Amino acid sequence: MIHYGNSTQEQKEIIYSRIKSEIYCNINDIVEGNQWDFDDLENYYDDECVHCGKKEEEECECFEATPHEVFEWYFVSEQLADKLYAIGQPVVRTFSFKAVWGRTCTGQSIALDPTFWEIFQESL
Ligand SMILES: [Zn+2]
């Protein structure tokens, strides 16, 4: 798996350009203080048990899914929203918010998140 830390400059440029073309803008100011309907949030829950950290398929007896903690909201392209959804990332696709991604990282460049390296791995 190629990630930021072991990638070449050329591979970083590919990731930068995909991020630039498929993530449109941060919408934290729109979402914050809004009555966000969490029923519209797909992949709201992680597949890890909040009690023991086991994955759902391992069937612990105490299973209770952990909600994702979203720090940042972004308008993204619809095709990127599909890819984010497929790898378990929180997304919202309602009429008023066409395609929104909930980023569960913060405090670093998006290019450092493993998320986009995973999604665009095959194009590197
Ligand atoms: Zn458990």
Q: How far is the CA of 59 from the centre of ligand 1 (A)?
A: 8
pLDDT score, position 22: 96
pLDDT score, position 49: 85
Q: How far is the CA of 47 from the centre of ligand 1 (A)?
A: 11
DSSP letters spanning the chain: ---GGG--HHHHHHHHHHHHHHEEEE-HHHHTTS---GGGEET-EEEEETTT--BGGG--TT--EEEP---EEEEE-HHHHHHHHHTT--EE--SSSSSEEEES--SS-GGGSHHHHHHTGGG-
Rounded distance between C-alpha atoms, residue 120 and residue 62, angstroms: 35
The residue with greater pLDDT, 95 or 36, is 95
Q: For the chain, which residues make up each domain, given as ranges?
A: 18-123
48-101: pLDDT as tens digits:
888 888 887 777 888 888 888 889 999 999 999 999 999 999 999 887 778 999
Q: How far is the CA of 62 from the centre of ligand 1 (A)?
A: 4
Q: How far is the CA of 61 from the centre of ligand 1 (A)?
A: 6
The residue with greater pLDDT, 36 or 91, is 91
Kindly state the percentage of the chain with pLDDT values over 90. 58
